A and B are shown apart, each in its own frame.
Chain A
Amino acid sequence: MKDITNIYKKVSDWMDGSGPMSDIVISSRIRLARNVAGFLFFSHADKEQQRELLDFIRGKVMETELKNDLWYVNMEETAPLERMVLVERHLISQRLVDREGPCGVALSHDESLSVMINEEDHIRMQVLASGLQLEETYDYSNRIDNLLEKKMDYSFSPKYGYLTACPTNVGTGLRVSVMLHLPALKIIGQIEKVFRAAKEMHLAVRGLYGEGTEPIGDFYQLSNQTTLGKTETQIIEELTSQAIGPIVEYERRARDKLLKDRAIALEDKIFRAIGVLANARMISSEEAIYLLSFVRLGIHLERVTDIDLKTVNELFMLTQPGHLQNLYKRDLAENERDEVRAEFIRNKLL
């Protein structure tokens, strides 16, 4: 069985950069929120009930055919640095990290599936995939939902659908998101237009780490906010055709425009980024992401040919604070981290 303790050494298996439109759509994510019938919602359950829920759900999950492909992580027995790694890999939410009390997560070995237990809802299952693959991801999450449903009764009302702790998730309990890389739109000053249009379509735009985070490095997470009154397929279809499609098109056109009108200025930005990354002695997390964003663009525009996407993905993932500290086997102060990060990047780019 694969060992979760070394998870911080390499990039998640699902993040192989092979999905459709992965020059702009970094990843797709489907999240389903479910609660077990006959129990209070998590925030109101006392410690005993919370533990009962955790044991019950974990037991049921490990009874399914998934059991041989899953690691179970008991959050109460997990050190803060280990939890940080899981957040950085987009496997758990910050809310689960901050959770005091019984909670855990079941992860598939390739990290494409994550089933959080006792987050805001009893069960929050998530499927991740590279590029734009919302339909396939939804099918996969559906299968998991079916498997779990056979083992337990979900809290469900014919009128309101799947009942959730927060009414903003009620109905389908479905959150569909994509992570988009939009450097060109940012450069030509069109990114605010995208935000406004998204807002008008009742879509949320967030940063790299989701809820409550700011966008850095031109990465934007786009997701639906409406979960009731539409079918799951409708929600996915609307997001894909009305938002993702047009935005991807605008970014492509913006990139073409930049290549035509400002090729040298663009290349300058890209190669200065490589220059700093290859030579800096200290570099913060934010600066690294900001510069790597240009390198990624450079690769997709075929201006950078001696660095491959795999390396860039590794640099994104493994230089995050939690990952670095696990790599160096100890807590590091911020300035130490910045030195160590710079060293790690220099070595990878040699």
Chain B
Amino acid sequence: MQCQLCGKRATVHLTEIIDGQKVEQHLCEQCAQSEGITIKQHVPISSLLNDLVEAQRETKELTSLSCPQCDLSWSEFRKSGLLGCPNDYAAFEKPLLGLIERAHEGAVTHIGRVPENPTGKLSQQLKLLRFRQDLHRAIKEEDYETAAHLRDEISKYETN
């Protein structure tokens, strides 16, 4: 088949329904591009199948995902919308991330109030959280000196 515009071999075949009539266009790649027609990349069938298998494996992983502390499964959670215990936030971390992002305008980190008396192992983490809060405030108040200092403190903690 020849390109309707330049006569070269046509490799792009476009079928449109205009006013109830089927209209076919046969163009070569260059003419198609200059006409502004976007061409779907030729995807080898093998990679398509791979993607499908990957997606199925992920779904299987998700359905078998459960929390060791409360025995709640991911699919049970999706049905009820309620988590079973605080550890679920760790056990379901990966799939929960997307859900949390969508529920909170893209946010995934807490920058608000922190308990007054952090106890035990959490205290280091909470110090880090306080630094982040102060950094947020410093940036808001355009106190860039304090902000820089806080960023240093934070990176020190994070490298430890």
Interface residues of A (CB under 8 A from B): 35, 37, 39-41, 43-44, 120, 142, 145-146, 149-150, 153-163, 165-168, 170-172, 174, 202, 225-232
A-B contact list, 21 entries, CB within 8 Å:
A37-B86, A41-B86, A43-B84, A44-B82, A44-B84, A150-B117, A153-B119, A155-B86, A156-B122, A157-B110, A158-B122, A160-B89, A160-B100, A166-B81, A167-B99, A171-B112, A172-B113, A227-B104, A228-B109, A229-B106, A231-B112
- How many Å from the CB of B117 to the closest CB on chain A? 8
Q: Is the CB of A170 within 8 A of B82?
A: no
Q: Is the CB of B129 within 8 A of A171?
A: no
Q: Is the CB of B105 within 8 A of A163?
A: no
Q: Is the CB of A231 within 8 A of B133?
A: yes
Any chain A CB within 8 A of the CB of B85?
yes
Residues of A within 8 A of B113 (CB): 142, 145, 172, 231-232
| Given A158-B110, A225-B103, A41:B116 Cβ within 8 A | no
Interchain Cβ contacts within 8 Å, total number: 112
Report the contact-size class of chain B (Cβ under 8 Å from the partner): 35 or more
Chain B at the A interface: SS class: loop
Shortest Cβ distance from A142 into B: residue? B113
Any chain A CB within 8 A of the CB of B139?
no
Residues of B within 8 A of A231 (CB): 111-113, 133, 136
Shortest Cβ distance from B116 into A: residue? A149
Interface residues of B (CB under 8 A from A): 70, 72, 80-86, 89, 96, 99-100, 103-117, 119, 122, 125-126, 128-129, 133, 136
Q: Is the CB of A41 within 8 A of B84?
A: yes
Interface centre among A153, A202, A225 (most CB of B within 10 A): A153
Kindly state the separation between the CA atoms of A156 and B113 in the bound complex, as whole angstroms: 11
Residues of A within 8 A of B116 (CB): 146, 149-150
Chain A at the B interface: SS class: loop
- How many Å from the CB of B116 to the closest CB on chain A? 6
Kindly state the separation between the CA atoms of A230 and B137 in the bound complex, as whole angstroms: 11
Q: Is the CB of A158 within 8 A of B128?
A: yes
Name A172's contact: one of B80, B81, B110 (CB within 8 Å): B110
Q: Is the CB of B112 within 8 A of A232?
A: yes
| Given A172-B110, A229-B109, A157:B86 Cβ within 8 A | yes
- How many Å from the CB of B97 to the closest CB on chain A? 10
Q: Is the CB of A165 within 8 A of B110?
A: no
Q: Is the CB of A166 within 8 A of B111?
A: no
Kindly state the separation between the CA atoms of A149 and B113 in the bound complex, as whole angstroms: 12
Residues of B within 8 A of A157 (CB): 86, 89, 110
Kindly state the separation between the CA atoms of A232 and B109 in the bound complex, as whole angstroms: 14
Q: Is the CB of B105 within 8 A of A202?
A: yes
| Given A158-B128, A172-B113, A231-B136, A167:B85 Cβ within 8 A | no
Residues of A within 8 A of B99 (CB): 167
Kindly state the separation between the CA atoms of A39 and B81 in the bound complex, as whole angstroms: 19
Contacts A226-B103, A230-B112 supplied; 6 other A-B pairs, CB < 8 Å: A43-B82, A158-B125, A166-B82, A202-B105, A228-B108, A229-B107
